[in-house]
Amino acid sequence: MIHVRDLTVTFGQGTRSVRAARDVSFTVAKGESFGLVGESGSGKSTVLRVLAGLNPYWTGEATVGGVAVAGRDARLPRMVQMVFQDPYASLHPRHTVDRALSEPLEIQGIGDVGPRVERALTDVGLGPAFRFRYPNQLSGGQRQRVAIARALMLEPKVLLLDEPTSALDVSVQAEILNLLRRLRQAHGLTLLLVSHNLAVIAHMCDRLAVMNRGQVVEEMDVATLRRQEPREAYTRQLLLASRGYDREVAAGIVTYD
Amino acid sequence: MNNPRASGATTTWRAQLLTDTPASRNQARLGQFYRGWLQFKRNRLAVLGLLIVLLLIVVAAFAPWIATHDPYAQDLARRLLPPGTPGNWFGTDEFGRDTFSRLVYGARITLMIVVLVAAIAAPIGLLVGTAAGYAGGWLDTVLMRVTDVFLAFPSLILALAFVAALGPGIENAIIAIALTAWPPYARIARAETITIRNSDYIAVARMQGARTARILWAYIMPLCVASLVVRVTLDMAGIILTAAGLGFLGLGAQPPMAEWGAMISAGRRYVLDQWWVATIPGIAIITVSLAFNLLGDGLRDVLDPRKS
Amino acid sequence: MSTPLLEVEDLRVTFPTPTGPFHAVRGVSFTLGRERLGIVGESGSGKSLTGRSLLRLLPAHAKLEARRLRFDGKDLLTASPREMRALRGKRISLVLQDPKYSLNPVMRVGEQIAEAVRDRGDPKRRALEMLEAVRIRDPERVYGLYPHEVSGGMGQRIMIAMMLAPEPDLLIADEPTSALDVTVQMQVLAILDDLVAKRGMGLIFISHDLDLVSSFCDRVLVMYGGRVMEERHARDLRAATHPYTRGLLNSLPRIDDDRAELPTLQRDPEWLKE
């Protein structure tokens, strides 16, 4: 469903250019949930934005559902949509929930707007009472539900998730993760989830790739992650550091280039 | 309190507006507007400004009924009367025309100038600024250098040049002011657009397949409008003064038209002995300019997109 | 320990709103010795306001009340603004989540640290020592950098160096590592850990991260809706009894479990009754 080969993303030009991703390759099967995990600057979000068609500066091969991401193909909007990290920044402050959810339908010329909007709201557990609210009348968790509903309005096959819960409280995070799992089942979605949180990745994904400094360090299935038996030292360190504070671990931290 | 039914009705429509679960887009919009009004209301000076502007509108609309005299009727026997004279409460000018009636009719011209300049300059600025800011690259460079050229001249000088080319008259004065007023709006709109351009909701719209025109119109412009409204309101004072200045220099409204700037210009010959002839239209100009400034300040508090 | 470093009893913070007063912190009590105290809670729990109350750094319209608010025998409620200024920075320091807002953008970072200790001998040497203490590899070079030239993790370490330079007795750290990568977070925490151990400093560590707080602190207060739900030894946090704490712990996904559905937190209005 998602196919990425030798993806290299370069920002800037000449000597000042920065390679945000280098020769990244991975494949995600239909209906699978795949995680990209790494620290800041690892290039995980850069790869996601390429697949979303939001980053034009890359070389290599990238297709979603058989459609090349390179040209702004008219089939892409109905193939792939995205949920962003910050629910406070991803909704237009002067658009009601109704407007936010009708926009994709109107842009794509799909009718039957009202009932579809109400169904979508019910689907993400909000209900029609929220339909005419403005974003400033919603909590962070409710906003993220609206953002998820909006991403699903065009019934895409692939959902890209960029740290969808890292701006939320833990109790709200649980609700959103449950919702995403349920929607994945109900709609047969393929998920690509970017996160720095290994526990969230372990909970949501079937397979994952660990990234560092723009490169994929290793790829593994979730069972390997749960057993905490990674192949690479970098991943091992990441796992140890995620467990909470430990004096010994802190002293032994090294930088991997 | 002594009429419980009336107060009951009041709470209902208030509750309807302030509800967290509006039932339609219009109710939601009205509710948003009402919340803004509640916030605006707390600023006393801004409300005063609004009242004066509303008064200006009422006076302009009902000028024939409010004016006590024909503003153009001359009566040389009653020329240069001081304020407080029975029948001519604001006095008369050098042709014996009633100052109060001329002020009332002048309100129409002032209001026309303000509305027309806003209607011409703000959309030009909005369009140029958002297009430049969103597109970036060479279009941005070209549009902004043109803007810079306009900004490089003091607006009154530029307006003078335009009027000199187009010929004196109130219509040409308005066009000249509008042509000199848009560059700051373009700058503001561009700055806003650049901060909005990379936000996640624009990225979402692009992923949904929205065209550039739609993104500009439905996503970016609504967010720029708020700061433009504030800026235009604050600029109104300057526009009125520029119009008055052109009128004073004889390049705006032509005699015998009752325009406040032209009235001052005519009265300046008598300023030592009959000070009121120039002073009263001056007070009108100051009052209206100040009112627009106060209103603009209040609007900024409510509309500033950086809040909330 | 004879008298504790900090005594807080029945702390309350109230904001006036158009619809009546809003009680953001309602009757929080705790004492602090020379130890690491964690305050955990979700957004809106009042944990940050509690931390800021101790320095009386609240918005102007907020009302602060307490039956007792004493730092090292000194009453913070009746202290004059001048006395508070003398305490802030010198004896009590505050580290915030985002160094961007706390560092002066037009001043070299080293000079900012030196500024904090300007009334002592050779502030520059002291600043360099502090940079070294927070494990910055090349202090001389970093001393001359401007805030925009340093990374987030480095900025946070500089912040901590600046706050610790005057050797405060109490450090209030509000989400000091939330914006950092886990490995950098570990290193920053190790620095704080050392300073508490070596200097006998008191530390209030405010965070939303239960795992982090339970592994780093000695004691933990769990806050919800402006009230303390329970207080525990950090090591026993997993054995918490209060339904709120239990709910939070259960709603966390774990690397080693394969629950399909995460239990969501059911809030009980009873918890907020006084």
| pLDDT by residue, tens only, chain A of 257 residues | 999 999 999 887 777 778 889 999 999 999 999 999 998 888 999 999 999 999 888 999 999 999 999 877 889 999 999 999 999 899 999 899 999 999 999 999 998 999 999 999 999 999 888 999 999 889 999 999 999 999 999 999 999 999 999 889 988 999 999 999 999 999 999 999 999 999 999 999 999 999 998 999 999 999 999 999 999 999 999 999 888 888 888 888 887 76
Report yes or no on B37 lying in a domain: no
Check residue B1 and give its pLDDT: 42
Query: How far apart, in whole angstroms, are the C-alpha atoms of residue B207 and residue B151?
Result: 37
Report yes or no on B1 lying in a domain: no
Report yes or no on B236 lying in a domain: yes
Report yes or no on B5 lying in a domain: no
**Nearest by CB to A177, which of C208, C210, C253?**
C253
pTM: 0.87
Helices (H) and strands (E) in chain C, counts: 10, 11
CA angle, C10 then C12 then C13, to 5°: 165
Instruction: Tell me if A158 sits within 8 A of A80, measured CB to CB.
Output: yes
Question: Which tokens is A5 given?
Answer: 């080969």
H helix or E strand, kind and range, residue B16: helix B4-18
Q: Enumerate residues 22 to 51 of chain B having a beta carbon within 8 A of any beta carbon in chain A.
A: 22-25, 27-28, 32
Report yes or no on C222 lying in a domain: yes
Report yes or no on C35 lying in a domain: yes
pLDDT at B183 exceeding the cut of 90: yes
Report yes or no on C120 lying in a domain: yes
Check residue B264 and give its pLDDT: 86
Report yes or no on C242 lying in a domain: no
Question: Which tokens is C164 given?
Answer: 């610790």
Check residue A150 and give its pLDDT: 96
| Closest CA of chain A from B208, distance in Å | 5
Mind listing the pLDDT tens digit for each residue in C65-104? Answer: 999 999 988 899 999 999 998 888 889 998 887 777 778 8
Q: Output helix, strand, coil percentages for chain A, rounded to the nearest 5.
A: 40, 25, 35
Tally of domains within chain C: 1
Q: How far is CA B168 from the centre of its chain?
A: 22
| Closest CA of chain A from C84, distance in Å | 33
Mean pLDDT to the nearest integer, C247-252: 91
Nearest one of A196, A225, A208, A202 to C258, comparing CA atoms: A202
Report yes or no on B52 lying in a domain: yes
* Residue B155, domain CATH: 1.10.3720.10
Report yes or no on C165 lying in a domain: yes
Report yes or no on B177 lying in a domain: yes
Check residue B4 and give its pLDDT: 45
Bridge partner list, A158: A80, A190
Tally of domains within chain B: 1
Check residue C182 and give its pLDDT: 87
Query: How far apart, in whole angstroms, are the C-alpha atoms of residue C208 and residue C210?
Result: 6
Report yes or no on C262 lying in a domain: no
Chain C interface includes A75 (CB < 8 A): no
Place of tokens 């009924």: B65
Chain C interface includes A54 (CB < 8 A): no
Report yes or no on B199 lying in a domain: yes
Chain B interface includes A74 (CB < 8 A): yes
Q: Enumerate residues 86 to 145 of chain B having a beta carbon within 8 A of any beta carbon in chain A.
A: none
Instruction: Tell me if C170 sits within 8 A of C192, measured CB to CB.
Output: no
Check residue A157 and give its pLDDT: 95
Report yes or no on C215 lying in a domain: yes
* Residue C211, domain CATH: 3.40.50.300
Q: Domain limits at B250?
A: 46-73+83-303
Nearest CA in chain C to A41: C181
Report yes or no on C145 lying in a domain: yes
Which ipTM value was assigned to this complex? 0.91
The radius of gyration of chain A from alpha carbons, rounded to an integer in Å, stands at: 19
Q: Domain limits at C42?
A: 6-234
Query: How far apart, in whole angstroms, are the C-alpha atoms of residue C110 and residue C116?
Result: 10
Place of tokens 């004492």: C31
Report yes or no on B202 lying in a domain: yes
Residues in chain A with CB shorter than 8 Å from the CB of C185 are 241
Residues in contact with A207: Cβ distance below 8 Å, sequence separation at least 6, in sequence order: A28, A32, A33, A34, A35, A219, A220, A221, A222
